[in-house]
Structure 1
Amino acid sequence: HQDYGYWYQNGLLFPDLVSVMIAVDPATRENGCLQVLRGSHKMGRVNHILTGEQAGADMEQVDEACKRLETVHCEMTPGDALYFHSNTLHCSAANNSDHARWALICCYNTRSNDPYRESHHPGYTPLKKVEDEMVLKVGRDDAQRSSVEFANLTDEDESAKSLSGTEV
């Protein structure tokens, strides 16, 4: 499928979106890692049709694209991130292994591409700038409530030496 195939149905007029998949667990061919068709974003939006309860890209077009484009298996280690265009055709195979394949998937839309119809997905919400001191305060308060201990970065990371003297 293409992510824009779904977003289009939610009232987004333009494919001005990017998706990012962040691996929580290792993603391998064995556990059905994400597969993308290299260059498929250039095809534009493929019709998505309902098959049973699942909507997906028109398989006739997908099959033809598979004949012409390279399939890339996106094997990832935890923390790896893969960014891809909303018109990129992609899928994951079944996980027939004994290993989990959790991932965090986010989609980012341009501010000017708000949906024209109501949806269960939120529209554009402006972010409010928060001063650094407030971020530090919330972090300290949360750490005190949860008894979490954080690493002393100035001892472990040369690039963090500039933080010396910053109260955490």
Structure 2
Amino acid sequence: MLTPAQISQYHHDGYLVLKNFCSKEEIDKLYAVALEDGAMKKNALDLNDQAGKKTKLSLWFTPGNDVFGYLTRSNKVIQSIAPLLDSDAPVCHFHSKLMQKEPRVGGAWEWHQDYGYWYKNQFMFPDQLISIMVALTEANKENGCLQVIRGSHKLGRVNHGFAGEQVGADAVMVENALQTMELVYVELEPGDALIFHSNILHRSEANLSDRPRWSVISCYCSQSNIAYNETSTSWKVPVDIVPDEAILTWEAESLSNADFLKKEDDPALKETGWEKEVAVK
């Protein structure tokens, strides 16, 4: 359970780091599955940044009876995010994604807010959307760790346009935010977790090191947060919570049963027309 101080810090900063959120044994198992499960590789999407470098991600919606499903449905995850959502409605799982930044070739993520994407899904309430990232490998400046602008979630949603195959925030607003608020490099050890608000501005640089940076990011919403332009259904189904020990001790299925996203089905990557008016840094 989060302390009152941690809850206050999240609302003030827009993010919260939880050290040693997962044990070494849990991370070893999750990382092994990430490397070895054929469904992860088969369903990985390549997204080009503005420089043409590629970042791989595999994204699925319904949390299943695989090891990543046990993580996203675990009591410790749900108990950590539920107090931070602006609703008493049940917590639902929107989607999870395995982020795969390979050494020397892993691309950057431009400055953006997650709600810059999810606005196109027509979710109504950004304060009822949240993400938790668990580091599977070390994340630092050298291999392109996440950067956040502390407190930028209080800006509300800023306009977004396209940056390569990504959606990026308006460059003027990003520059204004950087002059007003603190830039933070969120360096993590394997097993650390980062919880962050859907409107916090964040980015990551390309991985030019000789070490991979892999993480799993799970995104949640309150059941009261209706999405009027989302064809998946997990976002409105309360999470079937499992005990934390499920990650290590329960029999796990392959991710081949997961409902992975196909790039052509992502509404966030479809033009609406107004993106062309937005300059992206």
Give the TM-score, by structure 2 length.
Answer: 0.45
Secondary structure of 1:50 counterpart: strand
Pairwise CA distance, 1:124? 1.0
Q: State the partner residue of 2:231.
A: 119
Change (3 A) 1:69 1:106: same
* 2:206 corresponds to which of 82, 87, 94: 94
| Greater Rg over alpha carbons, structure | 1
Pairwise CA distance, 1:129? 6.9
Match status 1:14 vs 2:101: no
Change (3 A) 1:52 1:32: closer
Q: How does 1:10-159 map to 2 (within 5 A)?
A: 10-15=121-126, 16-120=128-232, 122-128=234-240, 139=250, 142=251
Letter paired with 1:102: W
How far does the alpha carbon of each residue in 1:46-104 deviate from its partner, in whole angstroms, 9 at most, with x for none?
A: 11112443211111111111111110000000010011111100001111000000000
Change (3 A) 1:129 1:6: closer
Identical columns (%): 53
Q: State the partner residue of 1:3.
A: 114
Query: Which ranges of structure 2 fall in alignment gaps of 5 or more residues?
Result: 1-111, 253-281
Change (3 A) 1:75 1:51: closer
Secondary structure of 1:104 counterpart: strand
RMSD (CA atoms): 2.2
How many residue pairs are counted as aligned between the two chains?
136
Query: Which ranges of structure 1 fall in alignment gaps of 5 or more residues?
Result: 144-168
Secondary structure of 1:96 counterpart: coil
Deviation >6 Å, runs of 4+: none
Secondary structure of 1:87 counterpart: coil
Letter paired with 1:58: D
Pairwise CA distance, 1:24? 0.3
